[in-house]
């Protein structure tokens, strides 16, 4: 049971405020929440907070952060945190579906629509329904979109699924179209986006051995098709689930665990690896999978660091060689290497292997940006720093290659477009015939891997 729901901008301005039960103090709750949030000491978790004002006004704030906004629910009961967090993220998706994309601008342009949605989703603080399908019968207001959508923008289509740097820089205009505001322009109606997004977390020991590989994958679908149209998604046939299953002749594409959305019909999955579903309009996670410890393809990056550390003069020299082990045709984008340095580093001189790279010191760490790296290529950077005031133990004044404490581990962030680390591919996306009344629907199938945590110890 939720008492209130509100949306705050990143600066704490209330954009939306809804009181469901009429039992609690007014809008100042939103301000109270923001003050509490800002006043939190670093080590405390902001996920749940409690207010104490007298004996009968205890309220738990539970919030999520999404695209720079705070979506906050308050409750006075000892409720399941999982349900509430899930509800909040579902609301975020719904608002995204209806308003195009979730953001301060879109919310404030569509206040009426948001309230209308909230009225339908929650009654007296209880969830009624969150399915796009049921909601579309009741929602009258059209979304206000800031700029008209045009297919020409498709060159910069980002992924709606992954919060990558690319999508932050160039918001995907195609996918950030309101799902239901298409009455005016029927030509844009038939579009389907299918994204395979993988998050990669890797830990490599200082001797180069692999300590941990973890791939979290998702197949996400955003459909603008009329609801009820059936589609079939064919996955790579060698796709195996679990350690023991064997398929195809090759090594197969193996994942440890798979879970499907409840609307997916799996009758053809066993035989042909085909998922059948009738998606509602809007966004949907069709399938989630995890894979850990053995990856079929080599890791995308290897880092070969060498460190010269002169304790006497405090000079630290770090030579980093980065090798990209992707196939030669693929490339990685927006690579950023983050290397924490010992305290007190003052100056940096650098020699980089190509001009478009950039390296700088920030927050006691080295940041090395590489806009793109072609598969199979090798890049290097030589960094020299001064670390005064870090005296070593007496008697070891010589230059050593042992890294000083406080250096590393290096972490990489990157995106790999058109590449999945597990090797999973969507073979085809077929739509049932009957709904192709007007133009042939556009189908967009995209693959992307990006780093969650790619850590290399030095």
Least distance (Å) between residue 270 CB and another protein? 17
Contact in structure between 435 and 229 (CB atoms under 8 Å) = yes
Work out which of 63, 177, 220, 419 binds another protein, going by CB under 8 A. Answer: 63
Q: For the segment 266-325, give every residue that binds another protein (CB under 8 A).
A: 288, 290
- Phi/psi at 446 (nearest 5 deg)? -130, 145
Taking CB under 8 A as the rule, does residue 124 contact another protein? yes
Contact in structure between 336 and 365 (CB atoms under 8 Å) = no
Taking CB under 8 A as the rule, does residue 55 contact another protein? yes
In angstroms, the first-to-last Cα distance of the chain is 50
Taking CB under 8 A as the rule, does residue 452 contact another protein? yes
DSSP bridge pairs for 65? 70
**25 three-class SS:** coil
Contact in structure between 151 and 174 (CB atoms under 8 Å) = yes
Write each residue from 249 to 268 as x if it is in contact with another protein (CB under 8 A), else as -, in one continuous string.
Answer: --------x-xxxx------
Taking CB under 8 A as the rule, does residue 242 contact another protein? no
Work out which of 73, 87, 91, 135 binds another protein, going by CB under 8 A. Answer: 87
Work out which of 13, 31, 123, 267 binds another protein, going by CB under 8 A. Answer: 123
Work out which of 35, 168, 212, 358 binds another protein, going by CB under 8 A. Answer: 212
In the complex with another protein, the residue whose CB is nearer, 136 or 443, is 136
Q: CB within 8 A of 450, min separation 6: which ones?
A: 162, 164, 197, 198, 199, 200, 413, 414, 415, 416
Least distance (Å) between residue 216 CB and another protein? 6
Q: For the segment 17-36, give every residue that binds another protein (CB under 8 A).
A: 21-23, 25-26
In the complex with another protein, the residue whose CB is nearer, 265 or 413, is 413
Least distance (Å) between residue 409 CB and another protein? 6
Taking CB under 8 A as the rule, does residue 227 contact another protein? no
Contact in structure between 47 and 62 (CB atoms under 8 Å) = yes
Token pair recorded at residue 95? 């608002």
**Dihedral, CA of residue 433, residue 434, residue 439 and residue 442, to nearest 10:** -50
User: DSSP of 437-456, one letter per residue?
Assistant: SSSPPEEEEEEEEEEEEEEE
Q: For the segment 148-167, give every residue that binds another protein (CB under 8 A).
A: 163
- Phi/psi at 444 (nearest 5 deg)? -120, 120
Contact in structure between 16 and 82 (CB atoms under 8 Å) = no
Q: For the segment 370-399, give every residue that binds another protein (CB under 8 A).
A: 390-393
Taking CB under 8 A as the rule, does residue 228 contact another protein? no
Work out which of 11, 38, 39, 45 binds another protein, going by CB under 8 A. Answer: 45
Least distance (Å) between residue 151 CB and another protein? 29
Query: How many amino acids of this chain bind another protein (CB under 8 A)?
Result: 82
- Output b/e per residue, 418-435; b: 16+ Cβ within 10 A: ebbbbbbbbeebebeeeb
Q: Which range binds another protein by CB under 8 A, 57-65, 95-103, 350-358, 438-446?
A: 57-65
Taking CB under 8 A as the rule, does residue 80 contact another protein? yes
Q: Which helix (H) or strand (E) holds 70?
A: strand 69-75
Write each residue from 323 to 342 as x if it is in contact with another protein (CB under 8 A), else as -, in one continuous string.
Answer: ---------------x-x-x
Work out which of 333, 352, 365, 432 binds another protein, going by CB under 8 A. Answer: 365
In the complex with another protein, the residue whose CB is nearer, 262 or 401, is 262
Report the alpha-carbon distance of residue 361 to residue 72 in Å, rounded.
Answer: 36
């Amino acid at each position: 049971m939720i008492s209130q729901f509100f949306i705050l901008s990143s600066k704490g301005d209330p954009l939306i405020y809804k009181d469901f039960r009429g039992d609690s103090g007014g809008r100042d709750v939103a301000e109270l929440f923001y003050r509490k949030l800002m006043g939190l000491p670093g080590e405390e978790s902001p996920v749940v907070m409690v207010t104490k004002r007298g004996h009968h006004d205890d309220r738990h704030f539970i919030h999520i952060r999404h695209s720079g906004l705070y979506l906050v629910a308050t409750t006075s009961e000892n409720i399941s945190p999982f349900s509430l967090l899930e509800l909040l993220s579902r609301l975020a998706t719904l608002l995204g579906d209806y308003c195009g994309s979730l953001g301060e601008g879109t919310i404030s342009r569509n206040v009426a629509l948001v309230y209308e949605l909230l009225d339908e989703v929650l009654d007296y603080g209880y969830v009624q329904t969150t399915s796009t399908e049921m909601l579309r019968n009741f929602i009258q207001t059209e979304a206000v979109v800031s700029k008209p959508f045009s297919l020409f923008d498709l060159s910069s289509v980002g992924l709606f699924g992954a919060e990558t740097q690319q999508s932050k820089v160039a918001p995907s205009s195609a996918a950030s179209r309101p799902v239901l505001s298409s009455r005016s322009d029927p030509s844009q109606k038939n579009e389907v986006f299918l994204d395979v997004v993988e998050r990669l977390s890797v830990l490599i020991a200082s001797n180069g051995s692999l300590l941990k590989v973890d791939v979290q994958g998702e197949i996400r679908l955003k459909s603008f098709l009329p609801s009820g149209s059936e589609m079939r998604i064919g996955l790579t046939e060698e796709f195996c689930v679990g350690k023991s299953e064997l398929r195809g002749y090759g090594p197969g594409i193996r994942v440890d665990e798979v879970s499907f959305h409840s609307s997916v019909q799996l009758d053809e999955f066993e035989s042909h690896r085909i998922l059948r579903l009738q998606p509602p309009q809007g966004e949907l996670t069709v399938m989630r999978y995890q894979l850990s410890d053995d990856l079929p393809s080599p890791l995308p990056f290897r880092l070969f660091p060498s460190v010269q550390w002169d304790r006497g003069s405090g000079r630290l020299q770090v030579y980093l060689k980065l090798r990209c082990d992707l196939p030669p045709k693929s490339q990685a984008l927006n690579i950023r290497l983050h290397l924490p340095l010992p305290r007190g580093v003052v100056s940096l001189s650098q020699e980089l292997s190509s001009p478009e790279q950039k390296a700088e010191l920030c927050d006691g760490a080295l940041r090395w940006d590489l806009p793109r790296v072609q598969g199979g290529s090798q890049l290097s950077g030589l960094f020299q720093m001064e670390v005064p005031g870090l005296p070593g133990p007496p008697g070891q004044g010589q230059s050593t290659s042992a890294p000083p404490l406080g250096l590393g581990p290096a972490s990489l962030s990157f995106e790999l477009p058109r590449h999945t680390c597990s090797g999973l591919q969507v073979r085809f996306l077929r739509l049932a015939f009957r709904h192709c009344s007007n133009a042939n629907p556009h189908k967009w199938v995209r693959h992307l891997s990006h780093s969650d945590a790619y850590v290399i110890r030095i």
